[in-house]
Amino acid sequence: MTEPEKAMDQHGSVVHENAALMVQPDSLQDEPWLSASAMTALTVGMESLLVIAAFAGAAFFNFYDLAQPSSKWLGENSWVNFFLGCLLALPLFGVVAGVLPRVPLMKQMLRSIEDSIAPLFQSMSFYQMVLIAVSAGIGEEVFFRWFLLGGLSQYLSWWAACGIASLLFGLCHYLNFTYFMLTTLVGVLLAGIYLYLGLLAAVACHATYDVLALVYLKRKMLRQVTRYDERSFSES
């Protein structure tokens, strides 16, 4: 046996290099290009800019009377609807995490998305993920639902405004065409929540879904690490 074909483990046993080395899952091969703190700060900053842009645009286009009571745009019974929004995130997450992976085309797409996104969150704490999810829920719902959908619906039919706002929402989340279509449909769902329950409910649904999705991604990645380490140890 030549030297390149063997490797010594810490106990001194000889194993074949080709048997000991295993291919890591794609999501584990690359280190995140941003630290967890930097990624959190960047996300919060970008979502804050969306809120500023929404209010500036609403004032410029005179979409809303910004001095009106908050219940006019948060929705009546806003705190009750807030909890309803949180609850509505549960079936949405269940479909994305439990049903779509059983569809071959969607399974391949979701795996690709996981491999792209999971490394960014592998070193984040739970609190950092919650901060990212809440800032995304606020920033994107204020911009896409309150500003774009609510503003455009004053001049277009609700379905036309919903289509424009949801397509732009999908484009801003574009990773591949299938994911674009999925996020566009999620945008339509959030538009319906905004229409019937108000902005706070849409924010709650969006943020709750993002928390669940980020925690799910991180735990799934950690399980992959554990399985990889166990297989590597058993082969050594």
In which band, very low, low, confident or very high, does the pLDDT at 10 lie, cut at 50, 70 and 90?
Answer: very low
Q: What is the pTM of this model?
A: 0.81
Q: How confident is the model at residue 230 (pLDDT cuts 50, 70, 90)?
A: low
Tokens of 193: 């929540």
Give the pLDDT confidence of 90-147 residue by residue, as tens digits. Answer: 999 999 999 999 988 888 888 887 777 777 787 899 999 999 999 999 999 999 999 9
Q: Is 205 left (phi over 0), alpha (psi -120 to 50) or beta?
A: alpha
Q: Which of 10-14, 34-38, 120-124 has the highest mean pLDDT?
A: 34-38
Closest CA to 131 of 42, 51, 201: 42
Q: At what angle do helices 177-197 and 158-172 cross, to 10 degrees?
A: 140
With cut-offs at 50, 70 and 90, classify the pLDDT of residue 63: confident
In terms of Cβ atoms closer than 10 Å to its own Cβ (0-12, 13-18, 19+), residue 112 is middle
Q: Kindly give, in sequence order, each residue whose CB lies less than 8 Å from that of residue 37, ignoring residues fewer than 6 positions away.
A: 128
Specify whether the CB–CB gap between 128 and 36 falls below 8 A: yes
* Three-state DSSP state, 21: coil
C-alpha span between 148 and 50 (Å, rounded): 11
